[in-house]
Structure 1
Amino acid sequence: MEKAASVMPNHATRSLFLSCALIALLTVPVAARAEEPTPAPPPPALVNRLPAFHDVAKANAAQLAALPAQGEALALFKTAIGPQLGLQDAAMTIGAKGLTPTMSRELLITDLTRAANELVRALAAWQLAQVTKDLNSTTTADQRQAVQRQVEAQMTWLTEGTSLESALKQVLALSSESPTEEQIARLGGAAADLQAWASETAHREWFRIYNWKDQVRQQRGLTRLCGTWQWSIHNHQNHREEKTSVIFAPPGTVSSNSPAEITVLGDSVYLRWETRAGVQEDSLIFSAEGQRLEGTFVNTAGGWGSITGKRTATCFNEGGGKPTVSPRRQHH
């Protein structure tokens, strides 16, 4: 009994020691980690948004090779090409049903559709250039005939409004038999011509479609802003009040009195004026159903203050003389 009693204090001591050690192990690393410096965020950099056109052409090689006889370029853009190139909104808009003529004009559907078709045509030429490059002395007769059939089927489509006829005829003639080293070199030249046109066209049309939403927003903003405004300006630098008329021209109209930059996002309006006296920036908000503008300004001369604008005349079209109605936001 005495021996057992003497063991108990030692056991309790060991348990207490182990508990303290465990607490130390759990808390010390946390405290150490808390003292570690937070890594600095990466510096800002320009984003490369260009897609890999070559990979997209390769991934859709079979569908592109079947155009236009066995498929439709626009359908391929809507289901595959558009989403793969980061153009989902454009693909959905082209495929939208029930758009009114007014909405179609506002969304530039005709130009958007044309650009989508041209982009797919460029990728088809890119894919054809790639299979042409692959023709060599070991290419089978079936592979050469497949290239010939593709060229024959796409000749009219690819040459309409382009300079590809000579290159395509070269591919058609040189792929009819097993190529020699000289023929391989000539095929390489024809393929390079095809790919050069395809690359230039694909990049151009992709940028047009990628910037499409910004262009639509800008057109809407310019239409909404168009007209004559009476502005009341309070300059806090010298406590002066000034009233002036500001005229915003219709979209597409160039005016020497227009701001150097106009950006309209929803109800927010940003204006940048550049003159010999310096630069002024206005930050404004539409109110009262688009009939008023309120906000602030700041300029390089040190001036800053408030702007209150009231529309005094609507925007008139060049031909009809009818006022352009400012679009209102619809809530659904």
Structure 2
Amino acid sequence: MPNHSVRTLLIACCVTALLTTSVVAEADEPPPQAKPTLVNRLPAFHDLVRADAASLAALPTQGDSLSLFKTVVGPQLGLNDVAMTLGAKGLTPAMSQELLIPDLTKSANELVRGLAAWQLTQAAKDADPSAGPEQREALQRQIESQITWLTEGTPLEIPLRRLLMVLKESPAQEAVAPLQGTIAQIEIWAIDTVHREWFRLYNWKDQVRQQRGLTRLCGTWQWSIHNHQNHREEKTAVIFAPAGIASSTSPAEITVLGDSVYLRWETRAGVQEDSLLFSGEGQRLEGTFVNTAGGWGSITGKRTATCVTEGGGKPAPSPRRQHH
């Protein structure tokens, strides 16, 4: 075989080997991990307004806002738990109060009303000046059927009546410019209402958990603390205020999930975190603490008094927690 043929064959073999090694190496390498990012949980409200325009435009004469929320709006906006809770039957008065059903119902109705106002502004924007009077008349009828509902307790009466007047009195070509500012007023209220009420409903479960946790913790506790940093023992009283009553000496954060209790204390001395568990039918708390001063150790707590308030509904002053 000529020398140049041998060289060509050797080069081809080397290249093949390098390519094979490269492919194998790439196959062995783990895929790059996605970088953590903040999650965007906000639904596409605008798409829902478009998709459910007919149902929203028919309210309240041809539908019920709460029923529409339970069957359509809630599930589409990631509020399935809220929709199912509002549709639950046989809830006792105590359970309804604990689950904040009256506030939940009000917020759901307000969310749907905001969506209906938003849909109305989209219909007004989509109105074609060159189209026949049928489109304008349909919009007029919608405003007339919804104006009482949309203006109850809202600042929408003036812009809605102005919009209705312009649609009735101005020729199609002349109505476009005057409508823009009026439509914007209604749309701003609608968007603000929808976002505000959605966040209330989305955070509802956390609020219920917080209320339950505060109710379960409420009372006076005698805590025995052992700091492993300096091997010191300390006893201190901790008073948790009733739910709904703020206290400057309460933890900055309280999370109760089942029997697990997380407390975060923020003071000038630093931050401290307690990880505890309920035991003894909720009359004891046991766990550990760690703080930014390097302290760490165990906590054993025993309830010494139930949740009682003094005159005027104010809780007894709570001593600030400190582990030395």
TM-score above 0.5: yes
Which residue of 23, 35, 49 maps to 1:43? 35
TM-score by structure 2 length? 0.87
State the match for 2:298 in structure 1: 306
SS of 1:297 mapped into structure 2? strand
Supply the distance in 2 between the matched residues of 1:318 and 1:119 (Cα, whole angstroms).
39
Matches within 5 A, 1:88-167: 88-167=80-159
Separation (CA, whole Å) in 2 of partners of 1:182 and 1:41: 57
Instruction: Tell me what 1:277 maps to.
Output: 269
The answer (yes or no) to whether the contact 2:224–2:301 under 8 Å persists in 1 is yes
Aligned equivalents of 1:75 and 1:123: distance in 2?
Answer: 14
AA matched with 1:276: R
Aligned-residue offset at 1:178: 6.6
Match of 1:76, as an amino acid?
A: L
1:165 positional shift: 1.0
Does the alignment pair 1:168 with 2:160? yes
Instruction: Give the CA RMSD over aligned residues.
Output: 2.1
**SS of match in other structure, 2:168:** coil
Query: Are 1:64 and 2:56 matched, yes or no?
Result: yes
SS at match of 1:175: helix
Cα shift at 1:136: 3.2
Which of the numbers 73, 77, 86 marks the counterpart of 1:81? Answer: 73
Say whether the 8 Å CA contact 2:130–2:172 is kept in structure 1: no
Distance 1:142 1:317, change over 3 A: farther
Instruction: State the alpha-carbon separation in 2 of the partners of residues 35 and 69 from structure 1.
Output: 63
Is 1:208 equivalent to 2:203 in the alignment?
no
The 1-side partners of 2:81 and 2:143 are apart by: 32
Structure 1 residues 167 and 184, CA, compared in 2 at 3 Å: closer, same or farther?
Answer: same
Amino acid at match of 1:295: G
Is 2:222 aligned against 1:230? yes
Aligned to 1:328: none
Provide the C-alpha distance between the structure 2 equivalents of 1:318 and 1:111, rounded to a whole number of angstroms. Answer: 28
How many residue pairs end up in the alignment? Answer: 296
Q: 2:233 aligns with which of 223, 232, 241?
A: 241
Unaligned 5+ runs, structure 2: 1-19, 314-324
User: For structure 1, which runs of at least 5 residues remain unmatched after alignment?
Assistant: 1-27, 322-332
1:262 and 2:254 aligned: yes
Provide the rounded CA distance (Å) in 2 between the counterparts of 1:144 and 1:182: 13
* Letter of the structure 2 residue corresponding to residue 42 of structure 1: A
Query: Contact between 2:130 and 2:173, CA under 8 Å: does it hold in 1?
Result: no
Match of 2:156, as an amino acid?
L
- What amino acid sits opposite 2:112 in the alignment? V
Of 256-265 and 145-154, the range deviating more from structure 2: 256-265
Asked whether the 8 Å contact 1:126–1:199 carries over to 2, the reply is yes
* Counterpart AA for 1:299: N
TM-score where L is the length of structure 1: 0.85
**What displacement does 1:180 show?**
4.7
Q: Percent identity?
A: 71
